[in-house]
Amino acid sequence: MTQMEYARRGHITPEAQYVAEVEGVSVEFVLKQVAEGCAVIPKNRLHKNNKGVAIGKGFRVKVNANIGTSMGYSSAEEEYEKAQVALKAGADAIMVLSTWGDLRGMRRHIVDVVDVPVGSVPIYDAAVLSYARGKAVVDFQASDFIEMVRIHAEDGIDFMTIHAGLTMDIVRRLRHTDRVLKMVSRGGAIIGGWMLKNDRENPFYEYFDEILDIAREYDITLSLGDSMRPGAVVDATDDLQISELIVLGELVQKARAKGVQVMVEGPGHVPLDEIEANVKVAKSITKDAPFFVLGPLPIDSAPGYDHIVAAVGGAIAAYHGTDFLCYVTPAEHVSLPDQDDVYEGVVAAKIAARIADVARRREDSFHREYEMAYARKTFDWDTMFALAVDSEKPRRYREKRPFSGEGCSMCGPFCAIKIIEEYASGEVKVL
């Protein structure tokens, strides 16, 4: 049975119990959310050391970090290091998106060593196999794609992006769209290319029931990919994107009917004024399925700093109901990230998640901010660093430019906190 099926029967799995403890909610609440499909606990039954992470309504906003090789940058070791760096920075899930080298070996290794949910995009294998084996993607059979899903399931992958919403009707409309960037989803482009070339319906859509059977067998959480997510703010929130979203809403219902855990992926590049609408339409159409966004990026014109751009979009998206943020690194749109980029990307996404949790007045999140303020009032630097999203960087800063007194080298003796505390309390020391 899947986590969803257990929850519907009122059975408390170890993962549901664990999640209740770390989130500070009752296990009954966990079961209710998972049973209704408003939250997922992605855990392949073969991924033994996955302790359980809840993604969805009523839980803390979660962060995913992508790792993976690409052509010319195919060191598995480096990608393993990136996974560790991401976890150290606080990532709640890791997606293995390698497109070069020993894909299966890397996938299995990450599943072995990582105790959080591990995700993948099975369709990438098609592109890679086409290069490695001299076989063209267009020559794959529909059944080959389904087989890739099964292989990933057997490797212990907890959640998989499946581009099942890209129907023939939608992909044909690409020829007449006024989008600047027709498609920026790698998986979407691969399956879309196959569909256009072979003039065949999307196998992930056509054989969705078979995918559900595999997902149910291993308890894979499906992450319904948005092939038509906008890749530029000028392309956002158009008919193609929303048409696919409607299909995804139908697929969510099918998955839930079979007891399969499912979440929905969202944009992408969206101007700030449209982020709230994007989240609310997605939540409404998918009947509160957990929403997983990439960014979103409210401008395109800051390459090198897309982690900051994504932090802005992600904070707003999460405040309005997004449950799961895929990190974006400073290298996005320019090159494959290195370990430092991964670290920075996770921290930026964690900041967005914290901002949203505080704005949504989660008691534990708001209390942490209170403790931070109190640590500032009392110049308790160790507590400040301990509560910080990253303890190391602020500690380095303080050591680099120290100040001998209680405050810091910014204001030196003219620290407002110190001056006014003394005056307001009547114990005048400075001025």
* Complex with a second copy: residue 182 or 258, whichever CB lies closer: 182
Closest by alpha carbon to 317, among 353, 345, 276? 276
* Sequence-ordered list of residues with C-beta below 8 angstroms from that of 308, at least 6 positions apart, any chain: 302, 348
42 preceded by a cis bond (ω within 30 of 0): no
121 and 114 in contact (C-beta within 8 Å)? Answer: no
Residue 400 has a CB neighbour count (10 Å cut-off) of 8
* Complex with a second copy: residue 16 or 328, whichever CB lies closer: 328
* Complex with a second copy: residue 209 or 399, whichever CB lies closer: 399
What's phi and psi for 293, nearest 5 deg?
-115, 150
The distance of closest approach from Cβ of residue 60 to a second copy in the complex, given in angstroms and rounded to an integer, is 13
The distance of closest approach from Cβ of residue 40 to a second copy in the complex, given in angstroms and rounded to an integer, is 25
Question: Hey, is 193 helix, strand or coil?
Answer: helix
Determine the length of the chain. 431
DSSP letter (8 states) at residue 220: P
The distance of closest approach from Cβ of residue 148 to a second copy in the complex, given in angstroms and rounded to an integer, is 15
Report the alpha-carbon distance of residue 268 to residue 231 in Å, rounded.
Answer: 6
The distance of closest approach from Cβ of residue 255 to a second copy in the complex, given in angstroms and rounded to an integer, is 25
The distance of closest approach from Cβ of residue 214 to a second copy in the complex, given in angstroms and rounded to an integer, is 24
Closest by alpha carbon to 251, among 224, 227, 275, 279? 224
What interhelical angle do 186-198 and 124-132 show, nearest 10?
70
* Complex with a second copy: residue 284 or 397, whichever CB lies closer: 397
The distance of closest approach from Cβ of residue 227 to a second copy in the complex, given in angstroms and rounded to an integer, is 9
* Complex with a second copy: residue 4 or 76, whichever CB lies closer: 76
* Complex with a second copy: residue 10 or 131, whichever CB lies closer: 131
